[in-house]
């Protein structure tokens, strides 16, 4: 990888997500050589991916160059590479651009979409984890609208105008709300040849309520907001398959659609090479102790989505959201400092800052400890928090400007088919695997 070994200890971080960058930023101030590796050369702010896929924001508003973070110190290095294997005996990682030794290794590789072994959904459906995924969804939505305009066959047009999302967690709720707003405010203006009422958005959820991780009150409010926007909710309904045209469920409800988005599960994205006992098999995530050390290893750590730190308060580990990753990254930097100074390690304690989800313009729900609220104020809080946590001043400014513009004009600026999905489906499908 062309990184010279110095007399400083080398800390290699795999993954420049929320956990990886919060750790790297702190380590760059320490007397260590920090090497950050990611398969993309940018950090993705995943909570706003749905706005990229529904034409609300351009990708460069929610992505941030990793080199810009690393350049803060001449002891920091970034390599764009996919790590394929770890050899803990030799303390080496292998990647598609070569090998690298480490003194301390931090795995912050996050999670990936879980299809629960359903090949038809993986082959024919869409999902959203990266910027290319979001751009594929955006192109597909817009291409389907264009095709619907010229399709005379009512059955085919219906399939082009039916949008089906599986999974009513935050991603599914936010995505279906945003598609409904696209219909309510844009389709009616941009596509005068289409009847917006023909465009249906179906949100399918296996459980008996939307936003299952949130309070029942927020869940009820979110369901009400979705209904106000015209999203059709199908609770207690599980998607069984999708052949590229027909979504089959376990009930009598089946949907003909050209746009099926799967947002019903995630699983860990571990790297090969560690002992089987390091992984919690069912979750595909590493078992870590309260210092983020992976079970059976002193110098290999895991943080964020890929780590399960069981405690009395969190018997199944922390929720797979941004805050545990950010807080664990910062905390691990302190513990690496402690290791180097021969000091005692400090156990991690999670500070829950609350959960929120937005359903659309003026509509969001927030759970803050025992308090929960919804509506305009919650939406305002949601916007403020997301702007605050976006990486980079430029991204905050551009996103803020876009939101104000969209709010005032009932418009979405980014509805461009730059890289068609359908015509390049072969290439786009390989992007999907990124
Ligand atoms: C669509 C969507 C919406 C979400 N909305 C919210 C929300 O509203 N609020 C919230 O708190 N959380 C939300 N989350 C969850 C949140 O984004 C994750 O919990 C958080 O990103 C976890 O951080 P992480 O650092 O563990 O992993 P990630 O941020 O996923 O980062 C992992 C990084 O590792 C890299 N990587 C993976 N494998 C390799 C490899 N082998 N070699 C090199 N690089 C590798 C990836 O490219 C990536 O950059 C959302 C997630 C998604 C997908």
Interval 186-211: pLDDT, tens: 998 899 999 989 999 999 999 999 99
Distance CA 115, CA 7 (A): 45
| Number of residues written out for the chain | 434
Query: Confidence band (pLDDT; 50, 70, 90) for 402?
Result: confident
Query: For residue 431, what pLDDT is reported?
Result: 52
- In the predicted model, is pLDDT for residue 426 greater than 60? no
Distance in Å, CA 183 to ligand 1 centroid: 29
Distance CA 421, CA 418 (A): 9
- In the predicted model, is pLDDT for residue 266 greater than 50? yes
Pocket test for ligand 1, best of 16, 18, 86, 383 (most atoms within 8 A of CB): 18
pLDDT in tens, 274-293: 999 999 988 899 999 999 99
- 374 phi and psi angles, rounded to 5 deg: -145, 165
What's the mean per-residue pLDDT of the chain?
93
Ligand 1 atom closest to the CA of 307, numbered from 1: 26
Residue (of 344, 53, 264, 5) closest to 178 by Cα position: 53
Nearest CA to ligand 1 atom 37: 109
Ligand 1 atom closest to the CA of 111, numbered from 1: 30
Query: For residue 411, what pLDDT is reported?
Result: 75
- In the predicted model, is pLDDT for residue 83 greater than 50? yes
Share of the chain above pLDDT 70, in %: 97
pLDDT in tens, 293-310: 999 999 999 999 999 999
- In the predicted model, is pLDDT for residue 335 greater than 70? yes
- In the predicted model, is pLDDT for residue 407 greater than 80? no
Between 390 and 231, where is the model more confident? 231
Pocket test for ligand 1, best of 167, 321, 331 (most atoms within 8 A of CB): 321
Per the annotation, the verdict on 313 as an active-site residue is no
Distance in Å, CA 154 to ligand 1 centroid: 40
Residue (of 288, 302, 272) closest to 19 by Cα position: 302
Lowest average pLDDT, out of 36-40, 120-124, 260-264, 410-414, goes to: 410-414
Average pLDDT of the segment spanning 30-53: 96
Query: Confidence band (pLDDT; 50, 70, 90) for 117?
Result: very high
Which residues is 165 bridged to in the sheet?
A: 203, 261
User: Is the CB of 110 within 6 Å of ligand 1?
Assistant: yes
Lowest average pLDDT, out of 240-244, 294-298, 318-322, 415-419, goes to: 415-419
Distance CA 36, CA 69 (A): 10
User: Is the CB of 82 within 6 Å of ligand 1?
Assistant: yes
Ligand 1 atom closest to the CA of 321, numbered from 1: 19
Which residue in 174, 181, 205, 287 is the catalytic one?
A: 174
CA 314 to chain centre: 22
Query: For residue 391, what pLDDT is reported?
Result: 83
State the pairing for strand pair 246-249/239-242.
Answer: antiparallel
Angle between helices 393-409 and 376-389 (to 10 degrees): 150
Nearest CA to ligand 1 atom 8: 47
DSSP SS3 for 211:
coil
- 288-315 b/e (C-beta count within 10 Å ≥ 16 → b): beebbbbbebebbbbbbbbbbbeeeeee
Residue 34 contacts by C-beta under 8 Å, 6 or more apart in sequence?
Answer: 11, 13, 24, 27, 28, 70, 73, 75, 76, 77
Distance in Å, CA 17 to ligand 1 centroid: 5
Average pLDDT of the segment spanning 50-54: 94
Angle between helices 154-161 and 131-150 (to 10 degrees): 150
Around Cβ 23, how many Cβ atoms within 10 Å? 31
Query: For residue 433, what pLDDT is reported?
Result: 45
Between 166 and 400, where is the model more confident? 166
Query: Confidence band (pLDDT; 50, 70, 90) for 24?
Result: very high
CA-based Rg of the chain, rounded to a whole angstrom? 22
Query: For residue 427, what pLDDT is reported?
Result: 47
Retrieve residue 399's tokens: 């996103």
Pocket test for ligand 1, best of 15, 19, 50 (most atoms within 8 A of CB): 15
Please say whether the beta carbons of 245 and 260 come within 8 A: no
Query: Confidence band (pLDDT; 50, 70, 90) for 423?
Result: low
Distance in Å, CA 320 to ligand 1 centroid: 9
Angle between helices 425-432 and 131-150 (to 10 degrees): 150
Q: Name the range with the highest mean pLDDT among 215-229, 373-387, 416-430.
A: 215-229
Query: For residue 409, what pLDDT is reported?
Result: 75
Query: For residue 392, what pLDDT is reported?
Result: 83
Distance CA 214, CA 231 (A): 19
- 20 phi and psi angles, rounded to 5 deg: -60, -45
Lowest average pLDDT, out of 68-72, 263-267, 333-337, 429-433, goes to: 429-433
Please say whether the beta carbons of 59 and 131 come within 8 A: yes
Angle between helices 18-27 and 322-340 (to 10 degrees): 30
Share of the chain above pLDDT 90, in %: 83
pLDDT in tens, 158-186: 999 999 999 999 999 999 999 999 999 99
Query: For residue 429, what pLDDT is reported?
Result: 55
Between 421 and 346, where is the model more confident? 346
- 14 phi and psi angles, rounded to 5 deg: -100, 110
Query: For residue 151, what pLDDT is reported?
Result: 94
User: Is the CB of 94 within 6 Å of ligand 1?
Assistant: no
pLDDT in tens, 349-367: 999 999 999 999 899 999 9
Lowest average pLDDT, out of 336-340, 415-419, 427-431, goes to: 427-431
User: Is the CB of 305 within 6 Å of ligand 1?
Assistant: yes
User: Is the CB of 93 within 6 Å of ligand 1?
Assistant: no
DSSP 185: I
């Amino acid at each position: 990888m062309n990184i010279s070994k110095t007399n400083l200890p080398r800390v290699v971080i795999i993954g420049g997500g929320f956990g990886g960058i919060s750790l790297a930023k702190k380590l760059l101030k320490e007397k260590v050589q920090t090497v950050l590796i990611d398969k993309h050369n940018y950090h993705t702010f995943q909570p706003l991916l749905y706005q990229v896929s529904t034409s609300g924001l351009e990708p460069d508003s929610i992505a941030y160059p990793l080199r810009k973070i690393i350049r803060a110190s001449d002891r920091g290095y970034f390599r764009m590479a996919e790590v394929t294997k770890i050899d803990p005996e030799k303390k080496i990682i292998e990647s598609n651009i070569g090998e690298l030794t480490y003194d301390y290794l931090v795995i912050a590789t996050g999670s990936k979409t879980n299809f629960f072994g359903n090949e038809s959904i993986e082959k024919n459906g869409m999902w959203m984890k990266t910027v290319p995924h979001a751009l594929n969804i955006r192109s597909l939505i817009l291409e389907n609208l264009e095709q619907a305009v010229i399709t005379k066959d009512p059955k085919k047009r219906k399939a082009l105008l039916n949008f089906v999302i599986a999974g009513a967690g935050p991603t599914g709720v936010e995505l279906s709300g945003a598609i409904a707003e696209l219909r309510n405010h844009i389709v009616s203006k941009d596509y005068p040849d289409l009847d917006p009422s023909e465009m249906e958005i179906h949100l399918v959820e296996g459980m008996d309520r939307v936003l299952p991780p949130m309070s029942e009150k927020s869940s009820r409010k979110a369901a009400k907001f979705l209904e106000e926007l015209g999203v059709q909710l199908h609770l207690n309904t599980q998607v069984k398959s999708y052949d590229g045209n027909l979504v089959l469920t376990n009930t009598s409800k089946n949907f003909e659609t050209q746009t099926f988005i799967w947002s019903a599960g995630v699983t860990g994205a571990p790297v090969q090479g560690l002992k089987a006992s390091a992984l919690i098999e069912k979750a595909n995530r590493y078992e870590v102790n309260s210092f983020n050390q992976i079970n059976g290893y002193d110098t290999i750590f895991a943080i964020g989505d890929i780590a399960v730190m069981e405690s009395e308060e969190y018997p199944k580990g922390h929720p797979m959201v941004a805050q545990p990753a950010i807080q664990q990254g910062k905390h691990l930097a302190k513990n690496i400092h402690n290791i180097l100074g021969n000091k005692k390690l400090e156990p991690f304690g999670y500070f829950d800052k609350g959960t929120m989800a937005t359903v659309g313009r003026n509509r969001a729900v927030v759970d803050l400890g025992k308090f929960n609220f919804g509506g305009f104020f919650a939406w305002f809080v949601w916007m403020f928090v997301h702007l605050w946590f976006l990486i980079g001043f430029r991204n905050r400014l551009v996103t803020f400007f876009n939101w104000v513009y969209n709010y005032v004009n009932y418009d979405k600026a980014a509805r461009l088919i730059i890289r068609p999905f359908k015509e390049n489906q072969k290439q786009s499908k390989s992007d999907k695997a990124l």
